[in-house]
Amino acid sequence: MAEKFKIQGGETLKGEVSVGGAKNAVLKHLAATILVNGKTKIYNVPHLTDVDIMLNVLSDLGAKYTYDKEEKSVVVDASNITSITAKYELVSKMRASFIILGALMSRCKEAIVALPGGCAIGERRVDFHIKGLEALGAKIKIENGYVHAKASKLVGADIYLDIPSVGATENLMLAAVLAEGSTRIQNAAQEPEIIDLANFLNTIGADVSGAGTSEILINGVKAENLHSAEYTTIPDRIEA
């Protein structure tokens, strides 16, 4: 006999629930803290394994962090980035950690990041990230499951994404923050998390406009224009 639910109506439903922070937004905020030569505090951080993984990635690069699970906040101090390598042991655990590529390129002009899950170019659209970074002036090699990107400087460019990839849009937004001149991402992803990332970047001193539309404009700023800040992550729309 099939299982079923019997719902007795007639009662007014009311009450309140607290919606946690959006995982897919906060992971990108954490990666973006690398851009700031100082401390950044993020509120509404959900207690999830993926958050722990991203914090471990940051720690492995030399950043320090304090995670207050009661307050649901994280303070990241990226004053002393000592490594440009995001190791396979960490990146393979969570595909979203690949966004560290754009953040490292923006700040250090060089990054060595494991391919997420060990996937090959073309299999899971990592090629869109690569092509966009090359348009900004990066020289990229793929060796032994790692992306090695390097540039004497990044220069703004017009970039058209073949599909509106969320990950590629986010990676290129981060890479373009400290590039010389302006970068225009066309056919950009338009999800709420893209808007939230743009708001976060603007809070720390970047110049991003158009997020939430198909065309995002990032006017590059100097590293000294980026500063410590506090930011509250948007609620998780899936949980809501």
Pairing mode of beta strands 146-150, 110-114 = antiparallel
How does pLDDT run across 56-107, given as a tens digit for each residue?
Answer: 999 999 999 999 999 999 999 999 999 999 999 999 888 889 999 999 999 9
- How deeply is 194 buried, as exposed, middle or buried, from its count of CB atoms within 10 A (0-12, 13-18, 19+)? buried
Catalytic residue among 48, 81, 108, 119: 119
Does the active-site annotation cover 119?
A: yes
Question: What is the band of 121 on the pLDDT scale with cuts at 50, 70, 90?
Answer: very low
How far, in Å, CA of 226 to CA of 203, rounded?
A: 9
As a whole number, mean pLDDT of residues 189-209 equals 99
Token duo for residue 188: 């950009």
Q: How confident is the model at residue 218 (pLDDT cuts 50, 70, 90)?
A: very high
Summarised one tens digit per residue, pLDDT across range 8-66 is 888 888 888 888 999 999 999 999 999 999 999 999 999 999 999 999 999 999 999 99
Q: Is 108 exposed, middle or buried (0-12, 13-18, 19+ CB in 10 A)?
A: middle
Confidence of residue 142 (pLDDT cuts 50, 70, 90): very high
- From the list 178, 175, 182, 181, the residue with the least C-alpha distance to 210 is 182
- From the list 37, 82, 79, 77, the residue with the least C-alpha distance to 62 is 82
Find the helix or strand (DSSP H, E) in which 28 lies.
Answer: helix 23-32
Domains of the chain, each with CATH number or no CATH: 23-232 (3.65.10.10)
Closest CA to 20 of 236, 237, 238: 236
Identity at 48, one-letter amino acid code: L
- What is the phi/psi pair of residue 125, to 5°? 65, 20
Nearest Cα neighbor of 46 from 17, 31, 16, 24 is 24
Residue with tokens 């990066």: 138
